């Protein structure tokens, strides 16, 4: 017997939200009740603003306080399904009742597009899709989209000390967004991106069909590995290839201030980092406390005795000594690079919540020619401004495997020719929430300053550091091809047109959309 949504709920909805939203919400929930023979199959996973737990469910995976204010747009409904069969009716009813869908796996997207929209919308929160199955013999894993990178690393380490996965250093990122946008980390020079390792997936398309690689076809399978999954459907699980690592790896983090020749070290690093052995990555972070500090962090797939001669041969200026280095396991290198004490219990990787959540704005650029010393000094001047008190740079070297993979192998195109990627980000606290504009303005000034030193035609950017400053945006997401190509070419270069063709076939009416989704041709 079908269950109707109670009349009392509609009355409460009218009290709590505008009448237009109340009607659309009620119609959507009424539709859901008709789609399920037993409404209780889904009712325990449906939250509206009248539910006491609505705010806590919404806030739990919110990773950027810019979108936590009372004035920030809120969903009409949050759905937390625990089985893929519960999702097609949600898609059907959202289409039927004129509501958009936002799919959230970890909530890390920089512009909040997985949980913010200016039009009536429903969140499909995949937090309960967290199962991970490791096959050591085949060196593969099935990972549901709501799992985190930390939980994936933990489950791999449970099974084997010599298997790993080349995902991000941050351990609270949801797999769904991370994989579908690319996903990089300290193994990138050896193995490439997270998306490069995806060998199968399960997606629910605009027609509610549950598809795997074979049934979705190679065109769509290509698109979701770095092209942004939210443009094409709801991806619920990924099959990935695991990679080999030695039992012993070595890490270090060597910090130098400007008074300790950090500028000259950075300048020299640009000439060597992308040319090093694939087993070695040396990245850079820049932050300001009392002074600007440039830190050189590293993962080496081997022991200290092999690492030291490599660094002394190619980058002797760093002055690396044995005492700077720590031999450890791959799983503990994750703890080290995320800022945990290296001897922390590995169970901290299972924590879904960040140690602190604050306001942030970030941008990305790619560097193809070394920045001269005077260019670096200009960066430090910007870091000396008041608004940069919470700013940092994360600089990731390319070369190695990243330069070997074709830029059209998956939609992520940033491969050969790039020396490194600059990610600049600024954080500010709750007390400064009313001053957000000044911090965001700083990121724009820094980005403008970088213009002569970074890639051009197109100027490249990384999709997973989504930036609504790029190009023309439409709040409904019905951006034209010409408008979308402004940011689309930056994220995808020549792959953008191919993504548009895939979108035109699989979602011609542009149901799955947001402010920077892939548009269909018409």
Selected catalytic residue, list 366, 439, 462, 465:
465
* Residue 379 · residue 83 · CB < 8 Å: no
Which uninterrupted H or E stretch holds 294? strand 292-300
What the block records as the tokens of 257 is 């201030």
Contacts of 381 (CB under 8 A, 6+ apart): none
Chain centroid to CA 388 = 23
Does the annotation mark 398 as catalytic?
no
Nearest by Cα to 248 from 332, 149, 363, 147 = 332
- CA–CA distances in Å: residue 59 to residues 41, 64, 170, 326, 464: 24, 10, 19, 38, 21
User: How would you list the strands of the sheet with 100-104, edge to edge?
Assistant: 46-47, 77-79, 121-125, 100-104
Q: Following DSSP, what letter does each residue of 62-119 receive, concatenated?
A: ---GGG-STTS---SEEE--SSGGGHHHHHHHHHHTT-EEEEESS---TT-TTT--SS
Phi and psi, residue 362, nearest 5°: -135, 160
- What b/e readout covers 173-187, taking b as 16+ CB neighbours within 10 angstroms? bbbbbbbbbbbbbbb
Q: What one-character DSSP code corresponds to residue 118?
A: S
Beta bridge partners, 243, equal 164
Tell me which residues are annotated as active site.
465
């Amino acid at each position: 017997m079908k269950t109707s949504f109670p009349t009392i709920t509609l009355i409460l909805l009218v009290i709590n939200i505008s009448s237009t939203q109340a009607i659309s919400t009620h119609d959507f929930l009424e539709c859901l009740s008709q789609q399920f023979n037993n409404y209780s199959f889904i009712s325990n996973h449906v939250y509206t603003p009248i539910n006491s737990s609505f705010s806590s469910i919404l806030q739990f995976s919110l990773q950027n306080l810019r979108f936590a204010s009372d004035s920030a747009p809120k969903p009409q409904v949050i759905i937390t399904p625990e089985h893929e069969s519960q999702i097609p009716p949600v898609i059907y009813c959202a289409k039927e009742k004129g509501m958009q869908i936002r799919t959230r796996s970890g909530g890390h997207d920089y512009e909040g597009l997985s949980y913010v929209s200016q039009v009536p919308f429903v969140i499909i929160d995949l937090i309960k899709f967290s199962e991970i199955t490791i096959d050591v013999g085949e060196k593969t894993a099935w990972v549901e989209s709501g799992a985190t990178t930390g939980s994936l690393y933990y489950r791999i380490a449970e099974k084997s000390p010599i298997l790993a996965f080349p995902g991000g250093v941050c351990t609270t990122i949801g797999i769904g967004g991370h994989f579908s946008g690319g996903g990089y980390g300290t193994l990138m020079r050896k193995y490439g991106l997270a998306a490069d390792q995806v060998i199968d997936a399960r997606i629910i398309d605009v027609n509610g069909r549950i598809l795997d690689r074979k049934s979705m076809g190679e065109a769509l399978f290509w698109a979701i590995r770095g092209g942004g999954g939210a443009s094409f459907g709801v991806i619920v699980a990924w099959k990935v290839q695991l990679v080999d690592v030695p039992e012993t790896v070595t890490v270090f983090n060597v910090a130098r201030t400007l008074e300790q020749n950090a500028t000259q070290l950075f300048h020299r690093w640009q000439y060597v980092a992308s040319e090093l052995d694939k087993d070695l990555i040396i990245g850079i972070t820049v932050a300001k406390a009392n002074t600007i500090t440039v830190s050189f962090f590293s993962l080496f797939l081997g022991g200290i005795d092999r690492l030291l001669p490599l660094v002394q041969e190619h980058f002797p200026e760093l002055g690396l000594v044995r005492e700077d280095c720590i031999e450890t396991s791959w799983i503990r290198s994750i703890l080290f690079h995320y800022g945990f004490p290296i001897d922390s219990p590995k169970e901290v990787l299972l924590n879904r919540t960040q140690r602190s959540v604050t306001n942030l704005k970030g941008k990305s650029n790619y560097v193809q020619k070394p920045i001269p010393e005077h260019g670096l000094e200009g960066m430090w001047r910007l870091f000396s401004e008041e608004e940069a008190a919470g700013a940092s740079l994360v600089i990731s070297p390319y070369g190695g495997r990243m330069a070997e993979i074709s830029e059209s192998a998956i939609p992520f195109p940033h491969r050969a020719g790039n020396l490194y990627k600059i990610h600049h980000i600024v954080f500010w606290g709750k007390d400064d929430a009313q001053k957000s504009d000044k911090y965001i303005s700083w990121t724009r000034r820094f980005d403008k300053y970088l213009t002569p030193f970074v890639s051009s035609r197109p100027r490249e950017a990384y999709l997973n550091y989504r930036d609504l400053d790029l190009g023309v945006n439409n709040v409904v997401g019905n951006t034209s091809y010409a408008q979308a190509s402004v940011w689309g070419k930056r994220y995808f270069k020549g792959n953008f047109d191919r993504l548009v063709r895939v979108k035109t076939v699989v979602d011609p009416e542009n149901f799955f959309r947001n402010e920077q989704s892939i548009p269909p041709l018409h």
